[in-house]
Structure 1
Amino acid sequence: MEKQSIALAILLKKNYEIIKINPPYLLKLIPILGKFCFSGISQKLINNKKIPNYVITCGKRMAGLSILLKSTLKDKIKTIHIQNPKLPSNFFDLVIIPEHDKVKGLNIIQTKGALSFFSYSQLKNDYGYLKKNNTNIVLLMVGGKNKRYTPQSIDYLNLSLKVIEAIKKINAKLLVSVSRRTSKKAMRILDESFSKNLKNYQMLSISDKNPYPDILKISDYIIVTSDSVNMISETASLSIPLFVYNFPKESGKITIFLNDLENLGIIKFFQNSIFKYKKQKLKTNKITISKVNKFLGI
Structure 2
Amino acid sequence: MGETPLLIWAVSDGRAGMENQVMGLAEAVARLTPAYIERKRIAIRAPFDRLPRMLMGPSLSRLSADSDSLDPPWPDLWIGCGRRVVPLSIEMKRHVPMVVQTQDPRARLGGFDLVIPPEHDELKGDNVFPILGSPNRLEENRLRTEAGMLIEDLGLDEDQRYAAVLIGGDSKDYQMTGPVTTLMLEALAAAEDEGYRLLITPSRRTPEFVKHHLREALPDAWIWDGEPVGRVVNPYFGMLGVAERFYVTGESANMLTDAAFTGKPIHMLPLEGGAPKWQRFHQALEDRNILKPHCGPDDQWTYEPLRETDRAAAEILRRMGR
Match of residue 247 from structure 1: 271
Alignment partner of 2:114 out of 89, 94, 114? 94
Kept in 1: contact 2:29–2:314 (CA 8 A): no
Report whether the alignment pairs 1:69 with 2:86: no
What is the distance in 1 between the residues matched to 2:158 and 2:176? 36
1:4 aligns with 2:27: no
Counterpart of 1:61 in 2: which secondary structure? coil
CA contact (8 A) 1:101 1:253 kept: yes
* Deviation for aligned residue 1:229: 0.3
In 1, Cα distance between the equivalents of 2:76 and 2:122? 29
What secondary structure sits across from 1:293 in the alignment?
helix
Distance in 2 of aligned mates of 1:232 and 1:269: 14
Structure richer in helix, relative to its length = 1
Deviation at 1:45, TM superposition (A): 2.3
Q: Could you tell me which residue of structure 1 aligns to residue 43 of structure 2?
A: 22
SS of 1:137's equivalent in the other structure is strand
Change in 2 beyond 3 A, CA 1:61/1:46: closer
* Count of aligned pairs: 288
Q: Distance in 2 between matches of 1:76 and 1:58?
A: 16
Q: 2:216 aligns with which of 192, 209, 218?
A: 192
Decide whether the 8 Å contact of 1:115 with 1:234 is kept in 2.
Answer: no
Secondary structure (helix, strand or coil) at the match of 2:40 reads coil
What is the one-letter code of the residue matched to 2:130? Q
Aligned equivalents of 2:237 and 2:60: distance in 1? 38
Task: Give per-residue Cα distances to partners, 1:107-149, cap 9 Å, x unaligned.
Answer: 1111111122112222222111443261211111100021223
Which string of whole-angstrom CA distances, capped at 9 and with x for unpartnered residues, describes residues 35-90 of structure 1? x534424798234x5221122111233212222333xxx14443211000111111
Q: Which amino acid aligns with 2:121?
A: D
2:161 aligned residue: 136
> Aligned to 2:274, what secondary structure does the other structure show?
coil
Structure 2 CA distance for partners of 1:166 and 1:150, relative to 1, 3 Å: same
In structure 2, the partner of 1:289 is: 313
Return the TM-score normalized by structure 2. 0.81
CA deviations 1:239-270 (Å, max 9, x no partner) are 22222222131332112111111121122336
Scaled by the length of structure 1, the TM-score of the pair is 0.87
Counterparts of 2:264 and 2:291, CA distance in 1: 10
1:31 to 39, 48, 53: 53
Map residues 173-252 of structure 1 onto 2, 5 A cutoff.
173-195=197-219, 200-208=220-228, 209-252=233-276
Partners of 1:133 and 1:50 lie apart in 2 by 49
- Partner SS, residue 138 of structure 1: strand
- Evaluate the alpha carbon distance shift between residue 288 and residue 76 of structure 1 in structure 2; reply closer, same or farther with a 3 A threshold: closer
- Which whole-Å deviations, capped at 9, do the CAs of 1:271-292 have from their partners, x for residues lacking one? 6534321222223123222222
Measured in 1, the distance between the counterparts of 2:284 and 2:158 equals: 37
CA-based RMSD of the aligned residues comes to 2.3
Residue 29 of structure 1: how far off its partner (Å): 4.5
Q: Secondary structure at the match of 2:125?
A: coil
What is residue 105 of structure 1 aligned with on the other side? 125
Contact 2:180 2:272 in 1 (8 A): yes
In 1, the alpha carbon distance for the partners of 2:256 and 2:51 equals: 29
* 3-state secondary structure, aligned to 1:104: coil
Aligned counterparts of 2:303 and 2:29: Cα–Cα separation in 1:
28
Question: What amino acid maps onto 1:8 in structure 2?
Answer: L
Q: Deviations over 1:15-43 (max 9, x none)?
A: 11111122356467443456x53442479
Aligned equivalents of 1:45 and 1:145: distance in 2?
34
State the alpha-carbon separation in 1 of the partners of residues 106 and 52 from structure 2.
11
Give how far 1:96 is off. Answer: 0.7
In the alignment, which residue of structure 2 is the partner of 1:53? 76
- Deviation string for 1:205-238 (max 9, x for gaps)? 2123321112222211111111110111122121
Which one-letter code corresponds to 1:9 in the other structure? A
**Unaligned runs of at least 5 residues, structure 1:** none
Q: Distance in 2 between matches of 1:164 and 1:23?
A: 46
